[in-house]
Structure 1
């Protein structure tokens, strides 16, 4: 089969691109996705994330593990990533966060001209169908539904009140470029129409409504194994579906949208990257590119947990199960209630030092006890407060664990290898606990969990952080954009030194944004679609 464009990966980048490129009826687009259609009930129902996140059965989840982390006492970290159309937007907490103005201005100042806040902002607007309609800060006619939470729990309101008592400002919108303060997250959730209350994954917003286009072919269950290359030009993709190997050709471009782990892995499997990462596996080198798989960044997260006698949140046990049945009915009928929750209802972005220019930590207040990514369950009711370092200094890698394309890559985030990350996380944990102990929140507490206690020294905090911290699911940077020697793609996301090959996903971020990474990834794909269309138009004009 031959197409104009072949897209590898139907996640946030790939779903956006497939929808946008196929708007032109004169081009043919093929999208390869290793997972399924991304439309089953556990994805559509926001609370279904509790069944998918832990990775048991790998329901729409790659459920990757890291290599042992020296900074985490030799533990293997867990890296859930979406395996379905919609990618990680099908299994995430639905939080819509653009990041800070300085994130993008910093990209531009470091060589990524044209990626500053003012330039990228219109692409955020283009993607959005916001509940409030078109405003100065939000778009109202895009494919991605963005909504205010309809049923935040009382304990979340208490979290916000406790923080404001400590003189943190309350914020109603964390997407203006200045996100300092506390409030409620906005969510990628349908706010009208037949799917109201359901998760609006990027596939549900962009891709599912246009699957009937005659010029769009979507192949699910298709695991890309390597690129087909003619010299330095990408000409197609080899993939495996079930037990069968197949191939699709691309007459214009191959576009990788596999994310921060799978995109560098596919490049390496195809002989593109560092010799020391590729040659030992018996793979022929095609193109030396030093940055492939380097520069991995992720938000390391530490969680405070509390048992509570409050039953108006998510609990495990007989009463919790009975309440769950009631809430299923409420959600199916109204799109509201507990099953519409993103779980991480409460938001906060704080400075650990008042002298800082902008917040350096993020809090996710969750209406349930979360232990080891929900892989360890606790009877009863409770709540959690997550704190992460927004701009980590630690850098990791993604490399081949095997020449077998079906094997997982070797993921090494290199967590806590920089002292500054640990120092910031300790300060953030202390700030978070202060909120938890302030009267509006203290009223909900029955007992504190995970060994956290009064009178802890910094050494005590370090011990418990190294024993318990792990990702909050924002890996980026492994095919970074730029003009320096470690850049993998140029400013229009074309792979340096290659032809007809781009990368369009979170791996191209030079540095991680100061917040959740889904909205920025959609923005990147919106820009990429424009770049690709403009390049095609130039080619036609040139004859």
Structure 2
């Protein structure tokens, strides 16, 4: 169904048109720009390009339009979205680093894409992350300093839901209050918050307080910043698209999959890929539209390379094995997949209440939902964590393995410790009794590289997804150091009368060998795939520095697949920032072209 917001906007005199199917009106319209995918990248592009009233844009989304669904809007219900109608329902190939287990690989399937299904943490990335992107691409425009104008275009720092004094929780001087995406610090205080602060003070040399991890330097203990406003999830649909809905030069087509890109000719010997084929059902009618100026591929790190391979762009040997005629031989397509690794580490605690009570007690959960419906308050309006640590692994770990630090530099963490007021695991169900504190260790700077490959030439078959989680000894060593750091943090005096004991398999893993077995058995994905169509010079890069696809004309890629290295932070923020600069690059390019070209 259509959201109330969309219906309200579309009641105005000038508005975007939303199509549930390809009508004759849509098929007979000439679009300057066709955008594929309505996640962070695609929504930014749709918004910024339609600011020019003379540019007509079509946005095609595979999922539906129900982006204001209750399960999406309530932050505390985010766990219900995996394997729902809002998920592509991808499962990985067996992961060697996880004892050959397969894991669910959630990707958003609705207007808003994965911003509608993620855990809402907002990170910009670090100075070293962006400067490394600039170096790899040969374009200083991707450096931290040059990106600051685009960073603040995203950023709209808002008051927390409960209106508390936020002094000491972030640095207002580095934030904007007129950007597009509403961001806030946690809107409900938890009993463990003060203990976390005290532990940071007691162990300040190891866990130094960092007033604002979005300063460009993440390292230390910080309060989280999340895409939550008044207790409601903020997505690219409720932010960027909500603004663009007011413009008559935007059309949105949902419930429609792009099956391939088709050349409309050649320019200087390169295929001009401004043709887009799409259908709503397997074996259904296939339609084709040609963009007058550009196609923007923003289908995400899984689907963007999938669409390119179906179009004959990728490793020619792989394509030929599925009887797909190669159009452009770009072996790097799909080959640079990187992701963060999730591991929940639980302690049994001496507490009268933790968020486990909400998760376990249906009556209490229903009461909290009713409270949320009134004004967004209560525990269901919280992000998954109020506080976290971003930390670097001791250099001796890397020297012992005869390797170098894989992070982008000293402002970037090797791992993250997420402090959770509940039992946090993707492998083990919440125990029937007991209250818990978890420190989720997140491998932030992995060395493992995976891939996306074809399962068949049928565009309605999902591709094979192999993130190669914990695929190297280096990654395993970083995770061991992360678990030990979590134990050091909980050993602070601040937790002495609160923590009872380590719980379950976590408590049994003490030696390196035991930790290795525990980590491999209990780890999962953090759902941050990137890098499958990377920026970069030479054969390691699929994209030029302006995000145009090498060997082609008329096509850019604007999503997390463009990152050559995974940002040392949660990925929605960097994707918004990347898209803001991409939009400026496209608009500058369009303004330089002769009329009608």
Tell me which interval the TM-score lies in, with the shorter structure as reference length.
Answer: over 0.9
Alignment of 1:222-301 (within 5 A): 222-231=256-265, 232-242=271-281, 243-301=284-342
Change (3 A) 1:542 1:268: closer
Counterpart-to-counterpart distance in 1, 2:361 and 2:244? 39
Give 4+ residue runs of structure 1 displaced > 6 Å after superposition: none
* Aligned-partner SS, 1:178: coil
**Corresponding residue for 1:89?**
115
Deviates more, 1:450-459 or 1:267-276: 450-459
**Corresponding residue for 1:150?**
187
Residue 173 in 1 paired to residue 212 in 2? yes
Cα shift at 1:244 = 4.2
Alignment of 1:113-512 (within 5 A): 113=139, 114-131=141-158, 136-167=173-204, 168-190=207-229, 196-231=230-265, 232-242=271-281, 243-308=284-349, 310=351, 312-315=353-356, 320-353=361-394, 357-358=410-411, 359-372=413-426, 376-380=429-433, 381-453=435-507, 456-512=510-566
**Corresponding residue for 2:33?**
5
Q: Indicate if the aligned counterparts of 1:225 and 1:238 stay in contact, CA closer than 8 A.
A: yes
Change (3 A) 1:164 1:247: farther
Deviates more, 1:97-106 or 1:166-175: 166-175
Cα shift at 1:296 = 0.9
Q: Indicate if the aligned counterparts of 2:45 and 2:579 stay in contact, CA closer than 8 A.
A: yes
Counterpart-to-counterpart distance in 1, 2:342 and 2:550? 33
Q: Indicate if the aligned counterparts of 1:305 and 1:383 stay in contact, CA closer than 8 A.
A: yes
Across the aligned residues of Structure 1 and Structure 2, the Cα RMSD in angstroms comes to 2.2
**Corresponding residue for 1:99?**
125
Cα shift at 1:134 = 11
Counterpart-to-counterpart distance in 2, 1:351 and 1:77? 27
Q: Indicate if the aligned counterparts of 1:292 and 1:488 stay in contact, CA closer than 8 A.
A: yes
**Corresponding residue for 2:16?**
none
Residue 76 in 1 paired to residue 130 in 2? no
Counterpart-to-counterpart distance in 1, 2:596 and 2:516? 61
Q: Indicate if the aligned counterparts of 1:480 and 1:508 stay in contact, CA closer than 8 A.
A: yes
* Aligned-partner SS, 1:250: strand
* Aligned-partner SS, 1:290: coil
**Corresponding residue for 1:193?**
none
Which 5+ residue runs of structure 1 have no aligned equivalent?
A: 191-195
Cα shift at 1:94 = 1.0
For 1:42-101, what per-residue CA distance to the aligned partner results, in whole angstroms no more than 9, with x for missing partners?
Answer: 111111202113x2xx23112311111111111113211111111111111111111221
**Corresponding residue for 2:591?**
537
Cα shift at 1:339 = 0.8
Counterpart-to-counterpart distance in 2, 1:246 and 1:444? 62
- TM-score normalised by the chain length of structure 1: 0.93
- TM-score normalised by the chain length of structure 2: 0.85
- When you count strand as a share of all residues, which structure comes out higher? 1
